[in-house]
């Protein structure tokens, strides 16, 4: 399923985009764009696909998307058939990393938020109190203009830069291109993991490869990706399994072992933990979305 590239229109007198997406259903197909995106669903239900992650959305679902990350919000059938009692409704923010100048993200005050943006390559669901606070601000933004609108965006940036209430979506395996400001040492480490995830690699192995002690490596890794090495490795393996499930009819046992799992029970347990569904359900959902006729998206 090949994503469509979107080039987003922008008003000449505004530095970033805020709009309300409201209609019988959300019309955009599987697509990507250069802008970062914040999506707050205020009304309707359905499935969302972010990279290789398939999840479900309802009112108050809040997602942050990195630049060029393919995504799709697919409403439930009652909306696609135009039989829902209420319209689908969402508030969306789009911005680029240079929307206030090419050096804007390099100033000292933006460093915490810049780290957050690096994680957004995989997309993330925002939860808890952070979601409530960001949601309240976003609901006011469509009626704002000028400095008030920009000030509110900075309040959202501040909340996101500090939060730990988030869940990463697409797998590291799906997100192949690292951001250009990642150090060579870290790029080499990630390449090592990507080339060896299907083997029995341990924490001691990758620490030695990185020329670091285990404790120092653990601290370094958590600071970079806000997860442990084991959690990251598992997400890489599950991401590879998702690719095989979506691109082939091979049986689940074969896919589990090719993805680096030593037994089927552990694979099924880890898959359900990360994807909230079984491997078979993921395959059915993916192919159901891929087969959806494009006329469903006609606005």
* pLDDT per residue as tens, the chain (299 positions): 678 888 777 676 688 999 999 999 998 888 999 999 999 999 999 999 999 899 999 999 999 999 999 999 999 999 999 999 999 999 999 999 889 988 888 999 999 999 899 889 999 999 999 999 999 999 999 999 899 999 999 999 999 999 999 999 998 878 764 444 445 666 778 888 888 899 998 899 999 988 889 999 898 888 777 788 999 899 899 999 998 998 889 999 999 999 999 999 999 999 999 888 999 999 998 888 877 665 444 44
Residue 91 confidence (pLDDT): 97
Give CA angle at 294 (289, 298), nearest 5°.
125
Residue 183 confidence (pLDDT): 55
Contact assessment for residue 44 and residue 108, using Cβ atoms and an 8 Å cutoff: no
- Classify residue 44 by burial, with Cβ atoms within 10 Å: 0-12, 13-18, 19+: buried
Residue 145 confidence (pLDDT): 87
Residue 4 confidence (pLDDT): 83
Residue 299 confidence (pLDDT): 40
Q: What is the CA radius of gyration of the chain?
A: 20
Residue 64 φ then ψ, to 5°? -110, 130
Is residue 229 within a helix (H) or strand (E), and if so which, with residue range? helix 229-247
Q: How far apart, in whole angstroms, are the C-alpha atoms of residue 198 and residue 259?
A: 5
Q: How far apart, in whole angstroms, are the C-alpha atoms of residue 271 and residue 250?
A: 17
Residue 179 confidence (pLDDT): 46
Residue 184 confidence (pLDDT): 63
Residue 14 confidence (pLDDT): 81
- What the chain holds in terms of domains, given with CATH numbers, is 4-168 (2.60.120.280), 184-290 (1.10.10.60)
């Amino acid at each position: 399923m090949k994503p469509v590239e979107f080039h987003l229109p922008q008003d000449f007198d505004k530095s970033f985009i805020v709009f309300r997406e409201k209609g019988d259903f959300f019309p955009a197909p599987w697509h990507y764009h250069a802008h970062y995106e914040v999506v707050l669903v205020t009304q309707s239900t359905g499935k969302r696909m972010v990279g290789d992650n398939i999840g479900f959305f309802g009112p108050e679902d809040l997602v942050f998307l990195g630049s060029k990350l393919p995504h799709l919000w697919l409403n439930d059938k009652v909306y696609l058939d135009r039989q829902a009692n209420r319209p689908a409704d969402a508030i969306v923010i789009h911005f680029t990393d240079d929307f206030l100048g090419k050096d804007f993200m390099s100033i000292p005050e933006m460093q915490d938020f810049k780290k957050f943006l690096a994680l957004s390559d995989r997309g993330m669901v925002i939860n808890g109190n952070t979601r409530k606070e960001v949601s309240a601000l976003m609901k006011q933004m469509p009626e704002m203009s000028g400095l008030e609108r920009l000030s509110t965006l900075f309040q959202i940036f501040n909340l996101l830069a500090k939060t730990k209430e988030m869940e990463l979506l697409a797998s590291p395996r799906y997100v192949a291109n690292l951001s250009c400001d990642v150090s060579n040492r870290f790029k080499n480490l990630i390449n090592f993991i990507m080339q060896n995830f299907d083997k029995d690699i341990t924490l001691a192995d990758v620490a030695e490869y990185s020329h670091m002690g285990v404790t120092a490596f653990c601290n370094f890794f958590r600071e970079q990706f806000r997860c442990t090495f084991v959690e990251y490795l598992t997400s890489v393996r599950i991401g590879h399994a998702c690719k095989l499930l979506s691109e082939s009819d091979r049986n689940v046992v074969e896919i589990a072992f090719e993805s680096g799992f030593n037994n089927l029970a552990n694979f099924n347990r880890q898959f359900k933990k990360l994807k909230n569904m079984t491997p078979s359900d993921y395959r059915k959902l993916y192919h159901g979305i891929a087969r959806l006729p494009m006329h469903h998206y006609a606005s």
